[in-house]
Structure formats: C-alpha cells, structure tokens
Structure 1
C-alpha cells in the first residue's frame, strides 16, 4: 500500500488540480494538507489582513469539499519548511506532491523541503498548475525568453494545443483520499493571531463557490470586456484576480472558455490571462527584477528622496494628492484591498512620474494592501508604468491624471463613490475641482484646501522633471 501527501498552497480547490490528480492516480492512500506558514504570516505588517481571512475561509471550504469525497484537510500553523517534512514522516508517506510556486522565497522554501524529504528517503514531486505555459516553455526562435509581450503572445498562441488545457480529473480516484487525523482542525482567525477585517462587506466571495459565482456572472458579460474593462464605474472586469491568485478556480478552465467564446471581448480577456504567464516567465528568468529594474540602465534614474518626497509619498498612500481619480483609486485600495486595473496604471504613473518616487515603494505598498497580490504581476505592472520594465510604456509617455479621469470616468461616478466630499461637484469640475472659483467651491460644498486638498504637484512641471530624470539616466548609459 503506497501513501502520499498532497501539500496545497496557492491551489485551494478539489478539482482540476495537477498535484492532487497525480497523487491519487499513483497512490492507494492520499492525505491532504495546508500550512498557514508562520514565515509569511508573522511578517505581515498588520494583524487585520483580508488575505488571511480569505485564505482561511477558502481552506474551510476546501476541507468540507474533501470530506465530502471521503478525505479532508490536515491544517497546520507552523513554519512550512519544517512542518511539511515532519508531517510526511509522521504519516509514513513515500512521496509529497505539490504544485509549482515560482516566487523567489517560495523556491527557497521548496528547496529546503525537498532536501529534508530527500534525507528521509521521501520523494517530492511538483507540477505546473497555476499557468498554461511556464519557465522556458515559450521561447524566441533563438531560444531566449521573450521581453516583449506581443511576440510572446503570438508564440503562446501558436504553441497552444488542447493538451495544455486538459483538466486533471480527481473524481475517478477520489476513493484513495484519506480522512485526516482529528487533531488538525482548521484554526480560527484568532488562533492564527489575526482579527476580522471588512472582507464580508466588500463583495469578495471566498473559496471555490465564490470563484464559481463570479465566473458565472462574468461569462454573461465577457462579450463586452474589450469595451467595458477600462471604466472603473462600470461592471466590466471579471473580479477573479484574487481567486486566480489563490487557485480557487482553474486557469485551464478559464482559458478554455475564453478560446471557445467568439468575439473581441473574450479575445481581449484571453490576452490578460496570457499577460499572467508572460510576467511569470519574466520572474523565472529574471528574479532580480524583484528589487531592480528589468532594464538595468534605468537603475541609474535618480528618484526623489528626503523629507519632501516622504510627504508626497504619504499623501499618495493616504489619498490626499488633490487629483480626484488618483485619490478615489487609492481609497478603493485602502478600503477594499482591490483596485481596478486601469487605475493601477494611473496611480503608478502618478507616483513615479508626477511625484518622482521609486516604483519599488509603490510596489511594496501594493504588496501590503492588495488581496490579489502576486509578485510577478505586481512587479511587472509597476515596472511597466515606471518605464523600467520589459515591454514598458516609453519613459516619455506620462499619463495626465486629469485627462485619464475625463476619459475613463467622464461623469465622475467612480470618483464620487470614493470621495463623498466631491459628491456635489458637477461633472464639469469633478476631474480638476481646483479650477472652480471660490464662489463655485462654496456653492458646491467643496472648498479646496479645506474640504478637499489642492494638487500636491503641478502636472506640467512634474512632467518636465520626469523627462529630465530619464534623459540624465540615458545620457549616463551612453557615456
């Protein structure tokens, strides 16, 4: 009788699951485990974290689903690199199965687990599960990783066959699941050392059922995705990013439906899924991008530092820039842990090119706040906006926050949702309320400098400073 252990990480579902499928297919008894990793949780800056609450709720649902199949989930609150090998020894398994995790810290953790298991004579098998193509599966004709998205996308599409989208069926082998020992129940939030957040109030359903509900809703709207996705006041996006991050839904299912659905909406959404693969392969081949520019010449950019830069950075964090779309977006992030993708580009451009502050500071702020934080996508997005990354917007392209506001929230609906102090400001002034006369400010209950801050920088002047900043870096490269 062969016994295996499946270690769940960012794949919290009981279906179409590569590691679970391979374990069940090759072993007669299979245990399942999840570790609330203290190495990660103890380092979080706050004891109120929506992600921890989301993960715990999703783990509870996964445990229930596995029990319905005759199994269940062993849950630990410990350091994973020691706890997983110890559990494998206690259960007397011959192999541990898990899905690939590509983040640098996760690779170090997995190497430690692999070494400890190997020393005990236990195999460690890992599988691709969270992307369609990984690592070096899609390369240029010269055998190098792509650094520009469009040719990567084209190669991705050419290389795709039904094989890569096949589901991993768990059902035929579910009888091999083992019920967990009774001493490993899912810990409560307080036992994990955390307090309840506002997760229940922000319309983010948890677990596989939450992912399924969002997916069913989006499938009725996917045809409009290409037209609606850039407007934050419109229900135009899938809202599945957190579920993709924690694997409560299968990327293969999403890609299959996108490919099978005719129209530009589905095609545009498929491109967003391909962007996920693209940034994962960038991180795999260039792990240094976590702390440095993808384009090394831009490490020479002289970003703003000192007390004034700190004041500006704090105003950005606290939604006090005086630019309504930027402030509304930052309030959305701070209040809900999510931000519309168009707004992620706007606020990142504003921090780096209007305030001249290093993209790493914004990237790390997002890392602390985003429910869907994924190091590959977050890093890629920030470097794109800052013009330091692969296939980034040109350094001389600088978003105008007022123009972006007028274009993507023309009536100010999104702005008013998160900035009630501007609720009575008419659409004519909502994007730049400082242009109102003192009399108009009084009439519309929005006195600039009192009810709402004045702009902390002049965009035209900031734009010139950014152009000079990058010109100096380019000149230094040429010397």
Structure 2
C-alpha cells in the first residue's frame, strides 16, 4: 500500500539486477511509498569501466530486469552519465527524499557512493545502503587480532560460523504509481557489439530467470560430481553461475542454500556440496581482501614481487590472446574465452600460468585481458586469482608451481575432446600427440593434415627452458626457488 501525497523513493540498481532476495528493494517497499527504479550507466566517475563482454551481459540483463518490472507495473528508468549528477536530476524531478541501494564494496565505487551519500545528506536526502552481494559485508569477518584474514581456510571457517542466511523473498508485486519520467532505452547505449558482432557464440541467458534456471540445472546435475567436473574442460562440470552472481541476478545466499538443500535431499554428496560452498567462500575472500587492500588490482600483495623482472613481450602476448601459442590446451582456452566470454576453471589456471611463467609477462596484462573478455569479470576475483597464480597474492599458489601445459592437457583432457573442439586444426591428430603436436612423427602430421608453422603454430617458447628462466627470475627476487609441475 502506498501513502497518498508522499514523494516516491528511488531504488538505485547497480549489480543487483534482480527482484528476489534484494534487501534494498525490500526496504524501499517497506516505506509504503511509490518506488522509482533506476539504473545509471556511469561514465563520469573513477570507477573502473566494464569490459566489452561485461557490457554485452549488462545489455541483456537490463532488458530482462526491465521486463520483470513491467510485469509488476513499474518502469526501469535508464540514465547515462555521472551517477551523482543523474541522481540529483532524478531527485529534482520526483521530489524523492530517500535513495535505497545495495552497496558496492570495491574501493573506488565505495568511495564514490560515500561521497554521494554525504553530499545528499547535507541537502536533506537520505541514502540507505545494504549488503545484497556478499554473505557478510567486508569488515565483518576478522581474525583474533581484529585484522583481515590473509589465509583462506581460517577465513572460510570464520565466515561459515557467523554468516546467517536471510529469509528468501520474492520482491513486491506492485511498485506504486509515479509520474512518467524521461528515460533512455537500452538500445541507446549500444552495449551490444557491432561491426563486427563478436558475441555470436555467447551461449548465455542473462537475467534473473536465467540465473534461477542455471542454479536449478547445476543442483540437479553437475553438483553431483563438481569436484571432478570443474577440472575436466570437455565436460559441463562447473556451475556457470559466476556471471549471474557478479551482476546480482542471483543472491549468493540463494546459491548457498540451494546447494545445502540439494545435499540434504540426497541429490549430491556432502563433499561435493562443501567444495562448491568453498568456492563461494573464495569469491567472498577475494571481495574482502580487495576491501582491506584496495591496491590489489594494481600492486602485488606481496611487495617483493613488485621487483619481478617481467618481459615486455608484445609478440608473445598477442599469440596468447589469439590462441596461437602452439600449446593446444592454452590455445583452446583462449579461443573458448573469445568465442563464449567464458573459460573453464582449470584452463584459466593453465593459461594464466603460461602467460606469467612461460612468457614472463606481467599478470596485470592478463588481468586486463580477462577483464575485457570475460562475462563474469569481477574486480576482486579477477585480481585475486591472477595474483594467486603469480604467487604474489594472499594465500597464493607459490610462484615455483609452474604448470606444464602438455602434462596438464594430458591429465585433464586425456582424449583431447576440449582441444579438438576449440582448435579444429588438430581434429585429426591422434590422442598421443594432441597436446604436443610438434613431437608427432612427420607421417602422423601429414595424415592429420598439419603443417607446423602453417596450419598450426610451433610453440612460441620451449616450456623446459621457460621454466628455468622463470625460476631464475624468482631466485633474483627471493633468493631461492624450486620447481613443481
């Protein structure tokens, strides 16, 4: 029920593009006033802009959210420009005295939001922020000395001990009547790529309904063998929930409780459920680390790695981005990324290790490429995961753990199905040589119709030599090294 004559409240959507389990929406509805939902495509702040693949997702997710709101009699107002200026314009147009939002916890976004809230409060407009994206807000999970956890296992234990699931909500059925307001259309923003449209292979269903369906499919199938499937790139063994979680089409609590319910119902072994919940915890760990250590995307968490002797190898970097390194598992992953906006979990680690340790290219270049090409690009997770592979992050894999791209392929794609799908040049080569075609006898290459250096590249670097080079570089900054393939 709305209160007659009262000004509306503004609901500022950001990365919470859902109606269910949306705390800001629930609190806005509880006021009894009409709700003005708005999304601002911010082009005027210091907050890092979304990459191209993320903008593709945003295009579809906003359309889905707009349709769901329309079903409930509400119109999603779209504005483009500086968030502060556009909010002020909307406040003037509506007479609203309260803005509800789910908080963004990345440092630049958090500072921007705090500045906006402070300035609006001075003018009599209240900004109310809630946690709609994490199990616990950053700063709530601290160690015994009151500081942030830097090791994952005790963080996860503490998180699970104190995090409490809120009740599931479906969102209001009515938003109240408001006057017609000016709004852009999603088409106005040109978020979908053109000339060329490189997204034709993006097999995703963005939006809240797509997120709920993805969660349902996961709990009924892949969850049963999650710990194994997430390492087998030829299989659909992961959850594929990461972009839905990033854009807030799905609350992490809903994913968490759905998996717990599946385990209790006997749909998945407890060990598989725990493995997935640990991955939700790792996402949480990354977000909390970014909050406490805001330079994580730009600076090594371990300062000694800032002196690492990276190479300025544009040729190697280009070969990596195009999937032309000559190492099939690496090339398959990079081509899958470009074609679908996503890459399998195990392969992400392999391609990152190859860039950092075989090519000695700065992890920040890889992070920037992933930021632009992943539909699930997330500042905390992306930065933390790249630093984890580089050995420079919190609770990171040690730098001396250097993945051998050949043995990794043989172990996790033994029949070469993943490689053959994404590197069709190698479709005819026998399994024995599919992960190292340069070792195949000439007659095998001829029969497979492969001319190395023409149909498929020779390796851009010898892995054994590259490993020795990487370990020497590590020794230069740390005084010691060891290898671990």
Describe the SS at the equivalent of 1:98: strand
Write out aligned runs for 1:332-343 (5 A). 332-343=336-347
Counterpart of 2:65?
A: 62
Counterpart of 2:303?
A: 296
Q: Which has the higher helix share?
A: 1
Q: Does residue 8 in structure 1 map to residue 13 in structure 2?
A: yes
Write out aligned runs for 1:25-424 (5 A). 25-39=30-44, 49-161=52-164, 164-168=165-169, 170-171=171-172, 174-179=173-178, 181-184=180-183, 186-188=185-187, 195=194, 197-199=197-199, 201-221=201-221, 222-262=223-263, 263=269, 264-305=271-312, 309-424=313-428
Task: Give distance in 2, aligned partners of 1:101 and 1:190.
Answer: 22
Q: Contact 1:4–1:27 (CA<8 Å) still a contact in 2?
A: no
Task: Give distance in 2, aligned partners of 1:10 and 1:104.
Answer: 15
Describe the SS at the equivalent of 1:364: helix
* Offset, 1:23: 1.1
How has the CA–CA distance of structure 1 residues 361 and 416 changed in structure 2, closer, same or farther, with 3 Å as cutoff?
A: same
Task: Give distance in 1, aligned partners of 2:119 and 2:187.
Answer: 29
Task: Give distance in 2, aligned partners of 1:444 and 1:9.
Answer: 51
Describe the SS at the equivalent of 1:107: helix
Task: Give distance in 2, aligned partners of 1:191 and 1:392.
Answer: 39
Describe the SS at the equivalent of 2:136: coil
Task: Give distance in 2, aligned partners of 1:253 and 1:448.
Answer: 49
Deviates further, 152-161 or 178-187: 178-187
How has the CA–CA distance of structure 1 residues 56 and 180 changed in structure 2, closer, same or farther, with 3 Å as cutoff?
A: farther
Task: Give distance in 1, aligned partners of 2:63 and 2:184.
Answer: 9
How has the CA–CA distance of structure 1 residues 165 and 270 changed in structure 2, closer, same or farther, with 3 Å as cutoff?
A: farther
* Offset, 1:44: 6.5
Structure 1 length-normalised TM: 0.92
* Offset, 1:37: 2.1
Deviations for 1:34-55, whole angstroms, at most 9, x for unmatched residues? 1122348998698xx3432321
How has the CA–CA distance of structure 1 residues 269 and 180 changed in structure 2, closer, same or farther, with 3 Å as cutoff?
A: farther
Q: Contact 2:193–2:199 (CA<8 Å) still a contact in 1?
A: no
Count of aligned positions: 467
Task: Give distance in 1, aligned partners of 2:92 and 2:122.
Answer: 11
Deviations for 1:253-309, whole angstroms, at most 9, x for unmatched residues? 11112223322221111111111110000000000111101111211211112xxx1
Describe the SS at the equivalent of 1:36: strand
Q: Contact 1:354–1:462 (CA<8 Å) still a contact in 2?
A: yes
Describe the SS at the equivalent of 2:75: coil
Task: Give distance in 2, aligned partners of 1:407 and 1:347.
Answer: 15
How has the CA–CA distance of structure 1 residues 44 and 276 changed in structure 2, closer, same or farther, with 3 Å as cutoff?
A: closer
Deviates further, 199-208 or 1-10: 199-208
Gaps of 5+ in 2: 1-5, 264-268, 481-485
Deviates further, 339-348 or 98-107: 98-107
Task: Give distance in 2, aligned partners of 1:176 and 1:347.
Answer: 47
Counterpart of 1:452?
A: 456
Describe the SS at the equivalent of 1:32: strand
Describe the SS at the equivalent of 1:454: coil
Deviations for 1:342-389, whole angstroms, at most 9, x for unmatched residues? 111111101111111111111111111111110100001100001000
Deviations for 1:40-89, whole angstroms, at most 9, x for unmatched residues? 8998698xx34323212221221222222232211112222311122122
Gaps of 5+ in 1: none
Task: Give distance in 2, aligned partners of 1:455 and 1:3.
Answer: 62
Q: Contact 1:85–1:113 (CA<8 Å) still a contact in 2?
A: no
* Offset, 1:29: 2.0
Q: Contact 1:95–1:125 (CA<8 Å) still a contact in 2?
A: yes
Structure 2 length-normalised TM: 0.91
Describe the SS at the equivalent of 2:79: strand
CA RMSD of aligned residues (A): 2.2
Q: Contact 2:62–2:186 (CA<8 Å) still a contact in 1?
A: no
Task: Give distance in 2, aligned partners of 1:40 and 1:197.
Answer: 28
* Offset, 1:418: 0.7
